[in-house]
Amino acid sequence: MPHTPAPAFDKPHLDEFINELAVMLIWVDAELRVTKLNIMANHILGCKQSPIGQSLFELFPALADYRASLVETLLKQKKLSLSQQMLDYGDRTHPCYVTVYPLLSGPEALIKIEDLSHQTLLDDMVIQSEKMVTIGGLASGMAHEVKNPLGIILQNIQNILHRLDKTAEKNIVVAQELKVSLDEINRYLEARNILKFMDNIRIAIDRALQIIATMLNFGTQNPIHMKNENVLELIENALSFVEQDYDLLHSFDISRVKVNRDFPIYPIPPIVCSGTQLTQVFFNLIKNAIQALHHIPQSEITLRVIDQPDAVIISVSDNGQGIPPHLLTNLFKPFFTTKSREQGTGLGLAVSHYIISENHHGTLTADNLPEGGACFTAVIPRHPC
């Protein structure tokens, strides 16, 4: 039997083909040796050497447990369906359905192996997004809980500062009763930097309260609410979310990445948009850029905003490896990812594209920079029709 040549697909088409039609058909003889393969099986199994003539169990050692049932299938001409199997091929383990069809023409069988990786990924996605909803709810619950004690600390700091005020009547009266000098108390506090420490606490709490307010706003799944927003503020919010992103913090030293801001020097007019959704888009783009800088020394991202009369253009670029040209058209497809399961879901760009094009009538495009690295550009019209 001649060895069917590998199909003449280029890699991106083939990847698509594999995702959509990952069914291998393998014909075996009475000794369970491979006699024929469909294109998919040939492509997947025939990379190193032709599988023709090899034993089925050499190709899939996991099936050796079913040797007796397979032989029986051939002898009794009875279809055999195995429960979900984990088969090793390519460079990883795949969840598969295996069905064995005995052929009427003789002691031969056709083995159908359906790769369920794509389906499993979809299932994982659904579970993941369910989890996200739960976590979103928990996070806003926690944010509410934390807001109260922070508010109490802030109020008490303000009380302390007020009670040290040399000009407040009540303070003067109490100090006189106790025969202490408010001036001297204040001089001591200043000399020991105590007032500065208290001010630091106040500033930190203010910042924490601001983060919580943004989180509460971000966490709510309100119907899309378009209003005037300051794009620069949305970008800063997104950046601070990325800096707090749990997954990223545990896999990457974000402080290594230099963040350049190329913003107009004048205050740009607000745009009508959904602040929550655009924050999500900027979050996705910045997170991707940082993930692309994993092994890059002197890594940088550049956030650029160009203000035009009819639109605001926002770009996020990095000095990573860039995007292989043949992948440029696939990036925005749902579930397209080149990352491991822990690192990526393949949904960030798909969702971002949807938000920009459907909800803001703008465009989101990807490109490589001539000097290396990727650049994602969102054009958001000021007056969406």
Ligand X SMILES: Nc1ncnc2c1ncn2[C@@H]1O[C@H](COP(=O)(O)OP(=O)(O)O)[C@@H](O)[C@H]1O
Least CB distance to ligand X at residue 79 (A): 39
Comparison of 102 and 348: residue with beta carbon closer to Mg ion: 348
320 binds Mg ion (CB under 5 A): no
Comparison of 64 and 249: residue with beta carbon closer to ligand X: 249
Taking every pair of C-alpha atoms in the chain, what is the biggest distance, in angstroms? Answer: 112
Instruction: Judge whether 326 and 281 are in contact, CB under 8 Å.
Output: no
Which residues would be at the binding site for ligand X (CB under 6 A)? Answer: 284, 288-289, 292, 318, 320, 323, 331, 336-339, 344-350, 374
Any idea which residue has 């390519």 for tokens?
Answer: 90
- The listed partner (Mg ion, ligand X, none) that binds 323, CB under 5 to 8 Å by sort, is ligand X
The number of helices, as runs of H, and strands, as runs of E, in the chain is 13, 12
Report the Cα 10 to chain-centroid distance in Å.
27
Comparison of 364 and 379: residue with beta carbon closer to ligand X: 364
Residue nearest to Mg ion (CB): 348
Nearest alpha carbon to residue 108 among 215, 21, 35, 15:
35
Comparison of 85 and 337: residue with beta carbon closer to Mg ion: 337
- The listed partner (Mg ion, ligand X, none) that binds 115, CB under 5 to 8 Å by sort, is none
Instruction: Judge whether 47 and 82 are in contact, CB under 8 Å.
Output: no
By the 10 Å C-beta count (0-12 exposed, 13-18 middle, 19+ buried), 150 is classed as middle
Least CB distance to Mg ion at residue 352 (A): 9
- The listed partner (ligand X, Mg ion, none) that binds 305, CB under 5 to 8 Å by sort, is none
Least CB distance to ligand X at residue 375 (A): 8
- The listed partner (Mg ion, ligand X, none) that binds 292, CB under 5 to 8 Å by sort, is ligand X
- The listed partner (ligand X, Mg ion, none) that binds 139, CB under 5 to 8 Å by sort, is none
Any idea which residue has 């619950």 for tokens?
Answer: 141
Which segment (13-21, 49-57, 220-228, 283-291) binds Mg ion by CB under 5 A?
283-291
Comparison of 225 and 341: residue with beta carbon closer to Mg ion: 341
Least CB distance to ligand X at residue 361 (A): 21
Comparison of 107 and 136: residue with beta carbon closer to ligand X: 136
Rounded to an integer, what distance in angstroms lies between the CA atom of residue 126 and that of residue 134? 12
- List the interface residues with Mg ion, window 328-367 (CB under 5 A): 348
Q: What radius of gyration do the chain's Cα atoms show?
A: 31
Q: Dihedral through CA 234, CA 373, CA 326, CA 248, nearest 10?
A: -60
Comparison of 120 and 140: residue with beta carbon closer to ligand X: 120
Rounded to an integer, what distance in angstroms lies between the CA atom of residue 29 and that of residue 35? 7
Instruction: Assign 3-state DSSP to the chain and report helix, strand, coil percentages, each to 5.
Output: 50, 20, 30
288 binds Mg ion (CB under 5 A): yes
Instruction: Judge whether 139 and 215 are in contact, CB under 8 Å.
Output: yes
Instruction: Judge whether 225 and 274 are in contact, CB under 8 Å.
Output: yes
Which segment (41-49, 128-136, 281-289, 360-368) binds Mg ion by CB under 5 A?
281-289
For binding to Mg ion (CB under 5 A), which residues are involved?
Answer: 288, 348
